[in-house]
Structure 1
């Protein structure tokens, strides 16, 4: 099937269901619906003006407050934290499939003896005394953690909890700020879901289809294609079977070299995407679902974006935490925002516009003012900061 770049762009933006474009999700129920529709909301701890996961939902759910996501994750348990794109909030109904993946992680990943020893102690404490956090354990044993350099700085119990979570032996049951508490899965997941088992074929098919639906339009060059930790040939072989059965359609996008794929259930929306308002701007969170594939941004939007958080300061082109500005179906520029909560301020530190018009600047100003209201901060301009 052949489509234009304009069709691809309209579809991808429409699939996001941003409030600025007429999205209908509201309040607590809207958070639940958004997570289920999106398939995954990426969780990230960095908080320059707002954390990624809260920004993703703020942009889509009217009346959103951060505690609403916490309610879905830890009280109603309609969602839980697991790994697909990265650590994400995912619908609880996906648990049997992700549990299969986590069991495979346990079979394939071998931590150090120190971490295994700590894991046994931690798991015993959780079983006997309920949910635990890393800070509940006092130890002098340090191991080499993910972010450590030459010197091992990570507490053994912290690494053990990460290992137990990665392998599905515990789930995150709550958070106190950024401190996670972990409990046994059977205390969090409903008995019916916990007892449900899937085999490898069911798992692979579910994950690839869920990935294709979550991404909207995707291409096999993406390193996390299919959310399957498997050789690319296995994923492409499964993709071919879906193409042959008509459950997935291959797309040629006019003027784009890469081939994209669309799940058959999304074709009606691809051919007739929702109308997109061009009145209100969206500050797109750096790990927003729209930005998951940076090649796709170039192909459909002509927009090059790199999140420079992990780029050395001297090599950054824009700044530490700079996000794209979306207006209608166009990515019109970039904005750098920073919150100072002690002083009660939200600063617009920099604004780079590729389309510098009064309409665009007015839309950006309104979006910044609305964000400041949500954060309960006073907005200041670059000249005031």
Structure 2
């Protein structure tokens, strides 16, 4: 008996529903992050910070950024790790296997006294920002990149990776550091590396609905799921996909404006294979080389990715500027009406009284 075969429309519906982008919106922030597995932190706020934009696109106008801050810093139901916000219930999975490069391990060993000094400061003074910790590093960190000689921050990040320090919150863009025992649960369960990998693959597949077992590397978070799930084929795509056994493709769609870092489209190869959707975040390109804009938001309509919206939130002027709309398919009257409504919802959420169209 051969593999089950899905249409691309079925695969799209499964992916959209798994990412909580169908008409039945979630109502709880922590439960939303538990399903998505992460919110990516990025300081760019041409429209809104990505973590907030992803949460708004799921929860709608009831979401407020202070809810995320409270969940991380007070309720401790979410935690920050490697520039990602994750459910606190998953923390053990990411401490199971630090897998540090030998160069990093050697540097930590050479600076054992520096590690002790940092932990002593945190023990004595409580949560602090990095510049409040004296740099007593005997062997400075050498790098050709921006981390060169940033000894304290580099060591703090490694102490987080090894489970000794945690990020307790942020003040502006600066991270606040504390002992892990003051942030993570006292009954923390850290599984074996093999068990952690298995559970992370299962969690990732549940959040994506359908994914490749192996494939193109994606920065920050893998987009592949190993051998977990049911192997299936999708029409007009090569190779085998893995399907979440609990996934269903029946849903009522809606229209959504997505962050450029949204998990639905973050794997650009998957976006092309399932939706024929080409997208590049162009804020790092010179203006003359941009096709869609500095921080263009992908537009989801039902189970289809139909275009990009080049937007700019001008809080000083109180205006959401619609610099351009780039259709990937013909914008029918219903699509145009739905996008317009979503733009008004976004402007209201951002407390911008006006929308300026091109």
Distance 1:285 1:167 in 2: 31
What secondary structure, in the 3-state scheme, does the structure 2 residue paired with 1:350 have?
Answer: strand
State the partner residue of 1:89.
85
Deviations 1:50-95 (A, max 9, x none): 0111011101114000011111111111111124xxx321111112
Describe the shift of the 1:382–1:120 C-alpha distance in structure 2 as closer, same or farther (beyond 3 A).
Answer: farther
What secondary structure, in the 3-state scheme, does the structure 2 residue paired with 1:183 have?
Answer: strand
Match of 2:96 among 78, 97, 100: 100
State the partner residue of 1:22.
23
How many Å apart are 1:305 and its aligned residue?
1.1
Deviations 1:298-329 (A, max 9, x none): 11111111112333444332222112111111
Does 2:194 align with 1:201? Answer: yes
Using the size of structure 2 for normalisation, the TM-score is 0.87
Distance 1:275 1:165 in 2: 42
Distance 2:40 2:85 in 1: 6
Does 2:337 align with 1:357? Answer: no
What secondary structure, in the 3-state scheme, does the structure 2 residue paired with 1:324 have?
Answer: strand
Cα pair 1:207 1:226 within 8 Å, conserved: no
How many Å apart are 1:126 and its aligned residue?
0.8
Describe the shift of the 1:105–1:112 C-alpha distance in structure 2 as closer, same or farther (beyond 3 A).
Answer: closer
1:7-156 correspondence to structure 2 within 5 Å? 7-18=10-21, 21-26=22-27, 30-62=28-60, 63-83=62-82, 87-102=83-98, 104-105=99-100, 109-110=104-105, 112=107, 119-137=115-133, 148=146, 152=148, 155-156=150-151
Distance 2:180 2:220 in 1: 25
How many Å apart are 1:223 and its aligned residue?
1.7
Describe the shift of the 1:137–1:197 C-alpha distance in structure 2 as closer, same or farther (beyond 3 A).
Answer: closer
Deviations 1:143-171 (A, max 9, x none): 6678629xx4x643233323322333211
How many Å apart are 1:274 and its aligned residue?
1.8
Segments of structure 1 that go 5 or more residues without pairing to the other structure are 243-247
Does 2:217 align with 1:223? Answer: yes
Match of 1:284 among 235, 240, 258: 258
* Greater Cα shift, 290-299 or 339-348: 339-348
State the partner residue of 1:368.
343
Deviations 1:176-222 (A, max 9, x none): 121110111111122112xx232222122112222222222111113
How many Å apart are 1:96 and its aligned residue?
1.6
Distance 1:162 1:96 in 2: 17
Cα pair 2:121 2:133 within 8 Å, conserved: no
Deviations 1:11-52 (A, max 9, x none): 11122223xx323422xxx10110112222222221111011
Describe the shift of the 1:227–1:348 C-alpha distance in structure 2 as closer, same or farther (beyond 3 A).
Answer: closer
Distance 1:59 1:362 in 2: 18
Does 2:139 align with 1:163? Answer: no
Using the size of structure 1 for normalisation, the TM-score is 0.81
Q: How many residues align?
A: 349
* Greater Cα shift, 208-217 or 107-116: 107-116
* Greater Cα shift, 313-322 or 135-144: 135-144
Segments of structure 2 that go 5 or more residues without pairing to the other structure are none
Describe the shift of the 1:285–1:258 C-alpha distance in structure 2 as closer, same or farther (beyond 3 A).
Answer: farther
Distance 2:300 2:215 in 1: 25
Distance 2:107 2:286 in 1: 31
Distance 1:110 1:72 in 2: 32
State the partner residue of 1:317.
291
